[in-house]
Amino acid sequence: MNIFEEALNKVSRKTLDEMAKGETIVLNKRYELYSYFDQDYFVIRDNDESVNDEIFSVQYADYEDKNNEEIIYTDFYGYDEIEDALNKTI
């Protein structure tokens, strides 16, 4: 498992439901999950100094259906921007 997959495996509907607005959860040494303080919006941040930016939005597949635990990730920049991160292993 690479470091990026490790981070994504720590994000679930329960994680999103329990986050306070403006909260940051460190997923591993490189990635963190952030909840905007002024809206229901979550992002994965890459703290690598060459990237140091929000790289994915994280959304509920169906917010209204509490039994639907599916999470959707939307890539802001495209695979090429994080390709090096995907190839790094823990």
Tens-digit pLDDT profile for residues 18-69: 999 999 999 999 999 999 987 778 999 998 877 778 889 999 989 889 899 9
Going by C-alpha positions, the residue among 32, 35, 57 that lies closest to residue 47 is 32
Q: Report pLDDT for 87.
A: 60
Q: Report the alpha-carbon distance of residue 4 to residue 31 in Å, rounded.
A: 7
Q: Report the alpha-carbon distance of residue 45 to residue 54 in Å, rounded.
A: 4
Would the pTM count as exceeding 0.95?
no
